[in-house]
Structure 1
Amino acid sequence: MRAVDFSPLLRSSIGFENLNRLVDFATRGEADAYPPYNIEKTGGDSYRIQMALAGFSREEIEVTVQDNVLVIVGRAAEAEAGAEPQFIHRGIAKRAFERRFQLADTIKVTKAGYENGLLNVELVREIPEHKKPRRIAIDGEERAPLIDLSAAKAA
């Protein structure tokens, strides 16, 4: 278990209560690289996770989003008794997996598609109006500039 004190870093931060959980998630590392995947930026605020799932059917794949975590689960269907092939070489892995992706609060999953052994999950960044930058007036009123540049140029 890691014991790291982040208090010096958080002195000027407000609202980062889950920072410790995110750091632990990021430093955990991936023990298994199966199944392989790509994350690509497809536009200004859109992204795609593409996962190679050779041998899986649509019915064997489950995609869910809960609490800003995208979870992709693959469960291989049970083979019928006596129908199990005898492999001389088995290079295509078809084993059960669970892959998790931590999503930011502003990232929404829009759709998922499966074609030619590739699962494509489309994501988009949607920043709510209350989270966009806005100018705050000091003392509740806008102040005039200290120097009027238009009067200085006319003189």
Structure 2
Amino acid sequence: MRTYDLSPLSRSTIGFDRLLDLAETAQRAAGDTYPPYNIERLSEDRYQISLAVAGFSPDEISITAEQNVVTIEGTKTEQAKREYLYRGISTRQFKRQFSLADYVQVTGATFDNGLLQINLVREIPEAMKPRRIAIRGAPPANANIHKIEANAA
């Protein structure tokens, strides 16, 4: 069985599993891959974005959800001057945006061991959900005969 990795096409659009997000494509083309992240489907209507933000504390990160976009920004506060022999942990400022499908909402976020996890859920209003319509048929042709006989008796 052959499998294809379509993740670059849907990586930053949550809830549309095959939609190309032009902003993400532009970011990738420019080489902006910081901070690295994962997007997981936890169930039919639940998703999770995980960002590796080592070196940041929760108060240096902000999450904003408006309309169909969630934005995560990290701003490192100035610390005392340190002398690094090698600096491999990036602590530069970042801004990462993810497009959300209609009815996908941010329900919360957690920060643990340098990993920021943002929980999302798709809640479709009852009026928009598919519903089964009962089909009423005409009464059987002989139903009227029984009704007339019952009235005559």
Paired position in structure 1 for 2:108 = 111
Aligned position for 2:125:
128
Q: Is the 8 A contact 2:40 2:47 kept in 1?
A: yes
Match runs of 1:38-77 below 5 Å: 38-77=38-77
Structure 1 CA distance for aligned equivalents of residues 21 and 54 of structure 2: 32
Give the superposition deviation at 1:43: 2.0
The CA deviation at 1:58 is 0.8
Secondary structure of the 2:83 match is: coil
- Partner letter of residue 97 of structure 1? F
Deviation of 1:78 (Å): 1.3
Question: What is the distance in 2 between the residues matched to 1:23 and 1:55?
Answer: 29
2:146 counterpart residue number: none
Give the drift of 1:28: 3.3
- Largest Rg, 1 or 2: 2
Query: Unaligned stretches of 5+ in structure 2?
Result: 1-19, 139-153
- Tell me the distance in 1 between the aligned counterparts of 2:128 and 2:67: 19
Aligned residue for 1:28, secondary structure, equals helix
Which residues of structure 1 form unaligned runs of 5+? 1-21, 146-155
Cα deviations by residue, 1:125-150 (Å, 9 ceiling, x for unpaired): 1111121124679xxxx5649xxxxx
TM-score, normalised with respect to structure 2? 0.68
| Identity in percent | 50
The size of the alignment, in residue pairs, is 117
Partner of 2:147: none
For 1:133 and 1:29, the matched residues in 2 are separated by 37
Distance in 1, matches of 2:54 and 2:22, equals 31
